Structure 1
């Protein structure tokens, strides 16, 4: 029986294929590779450019590990990587599709960590800024002899992390677990940098809201910052439990901590957990600052809403006062405009100036009374 062509096999997932048209050329997995290095005792070795051959070199020597960096791989490219490293299909699916919630999962001896990255957007004015922070994602897949970092977004650069670690081989010699720590440390430190830069903006908002001269307050700016703080919370808060597991902190945890010795990610699991405890402390600091900003912005929203309500009440009192003053000449003109013959002062020559003077005096007295009562 003739074999079925691959492009007609419904079980295959062909990259770039349009169901109504021809299949597009397949993009090789090497296009998504940012860097690929082999490390033995913390020192980078000469290795093939192809990650498959580099992995074969590591496993044939039974020493060291491979660190593969990928940027926004598509499904077919990630399938090639998964075949080489024997990755679980669920990890592959999460690594391809971004917008994951920060989490930590264990697949046998492989650790899968999802991190949300945050970048502060410089702006000249709070009113014209569309976004205060931008987000991205980094997925880290760490096994016995490999680390794979998958980046989604334009501000998730890890080149500095790799270079810094290569300068300290004794640190890198701790194995894939220490690379996992380095990436998490870089991301959490970026949280601290972002919340530090946002403090100036929050202080400026407080000045505007509580300033006595700000009559035309744009409350939308406060809502914008509230939205950005919520974005920070979605990135930082879910990471608390994963960091507690990685640091071995059993307090307030319903799940067991990660034992790096059992997963073969590091021979010195105690030292790695010490490093993760430092990251967990930084994460707690960032969480506390974000919670403080959230409370301050909630207070600002309430204060701004109250200030707007008071301003509207003041405006309504002014409008009502002027309407009351205008009602006096309107009433007099309405009465004497009915053209009745028998009315007071109708046939008196000085009636017109008398009525004008009386209306003016009444309006002035009413104006003084309203102003004295702070309605005008």
Structure 2
């Protein structure tokens, strides 16, 4: 149980205060006091471990199932006593030109916030310390943690999008250079798969991000104070920028792939013309030599002393003429 709990702390008026180490006792203390909130962080919990936690916090069974199973789309689900948010984390690995995707879940209630991470790409390593240095933000309650997590994840998206853009510029220059390497289509397709995987993390998050900015009893998200909505609006703006970049990358990759395939087709046509031209040059002397190799008695110039060199001259002349013709036509 202790292995899955990364940290557990009580916060009042934006500051961390001493409290019980056991999360059950800490939650009971917060609820009894009627002010402050508990922030508990979990990492890759098993079903059995999370069942114990969910019983203490009274989490909805459907949200618990999603949190344990993972592999969910980014979303915000509202239950009677909690708000369940799913985020995809992303990190770009320069050495392999790959985007790795992780997952974060946040449970938000009136006296607690719970973060559940899946996968190694977690941006929460230093977030708690950074938030504890901003008591004015933490004073808004557990929703401030939700905002900070969303903001950090989207900032991570911006970093990944920038890295993808830089590597795509390098890939484009390399592919369209005169001495381009083989297997360009495979590299483009592999890069496109990374962009598509990244897009699956960023695009579905737009609707939940906008939902967190809305006011009104019918559309607002519970436990999110109105003072925090401008913060979530800033997150949505940054996410919109990320999605614009990702869409541009996806479109550009499709254009590059089409252009590369067109280049390959043109190159293949050039190669076929060259092969055909050389085959034609070889066919003329082969045909003439084949005719004279039939051993017929009555053949032109067969008994003339100059017949053999004359035939060779004819072969050479025809070949030179064809070579010039093909050269002028651009086939050679």
1:217/1:304 contact within 8 Å kept = no
Give how far 1:368 is off. Answer: 1.1
Counterpart-to-counterpart distance in 2, 1:234 and 1:42: 35
Counterpart-to-counterpart distance in 1, 2:253 and 2:310: 60
Change (3 A) 1:215 1:359: farther
Counterpart-to-counterpart distance in 2, 1:178 and 1:317: 68
- Post-superposition Cα deviations, 1:223-258, rounded to whole Å, max 9, x if no partner, equal 1111111111100110111011101179xxxx9532
SS of the equivalent of 1:100 reads: coil
Give how far 1:347 is off. Answer: 2.0
One of 9, 17, 23 as aligned partner of 1:45: 17
One of 327, 330, 335 as aligned partner of 2:283: 327
Equivalent positions of 1:123-138 (< 5 A) are: 123=95, 129=96, 131-138=97-104
- Post-superposition Cα deviations, 1:59-90, rounded to whole Å, max 9, x if no partner, equal 12122111111111010011011011011111
Change (3 A) 1:256 1:353: farther
2:215/2:226 contact within 8 Å kept = no
**Paired position in structure 2 for 1:257:** 219
Structure 1 stretch displaced more, 58-67 or 202-211: 202-211
**Paired position in structure 1 for 2:58:** 86
Equivalent positions of 1:51-70 (< 5 A) are: 51-70=23-42
**Paired position in structure 2 for 1:117:** 89
**Paired position in structure 1 for 2:241:** 285
Counterpart-to-counterpart distance in 2, 1:288 and 1:154: 27
**Paired position in structure 2 for 1:19:** none
Give how far 1:109 is off. Answer: 2.8
Structure 1 residue 274 and structure 2 residue 230: aligned?
yes
Give how far 1:314 is off. Answer: 0.6
One of 30, 38, 50 as aligned partner of 2:2: 30
Counterpart-to-counterpart distance in 1, 2:218 and 2:287: 83
Give how far 1:338 is off. Answer: 1.3
Give how far 1:30 is off. Answer: 1.9
Give how far 1:49 is off. Answer: 1.9
Counterpart-to-counterpart distance in 1, 2:218 and 2:126: 32
Give how far 1:350 is off. Answer: 2.9
2:175/2:181 contact within 8 Å kept = no
Equivalent positions of 1:202-281 (< 5 A) are: 202-214=168-180, 216=182, 218-248=184-214, 257-259=219-221, 263=222, 265-266=223-224, 269-281=225-237
Structure 1 residue 103 and structure 2 residue 75: aligned?
yes
Structure 1 residue 184 and structure 2 residue 150: aligned?
yes
SS of the equivalent of 1:117 reads: strand
Change (3 A) 1:249 1:331: farther
1:115/1:139 contact within 8 Å kept = yes
Gaps spanning 5+ residues in structure 2: where?
Answer: none
Give how far 1:212 is off. Answer: 4.2
Counterpart-to-counterpart distance in 2, 1:97 and 1:137: 11
SS of the equivalent of 1:140 reads: strand
1:244/1:257 contact within 8 Å kept = no
- Post-superposition Cα deviations, 1:339-375, rounded to whole Å, max 9, x if no partner, equal 1111112222332222222211211111111011110
Aligned length: 332
- Post-superposition Cα deviations, 1:94-153, rounded to whole Å, max 9, x if no partner, equal 111121111110011311110011101112xxxxx3x52110000011111111111111
Counterpart-to-counterpart distance in 1, 2:318 and 2:183: 37
Counterpart-to-counterpart distance in 2, 1:305 and 1:209: 11
SS of the equivalent of 2:322 reads: helix
TM value normalised by structure 2: 0.96
Give how far 1:161 is off. Answer: 1.2
SS of the equivalent of 2:2 reads: helix
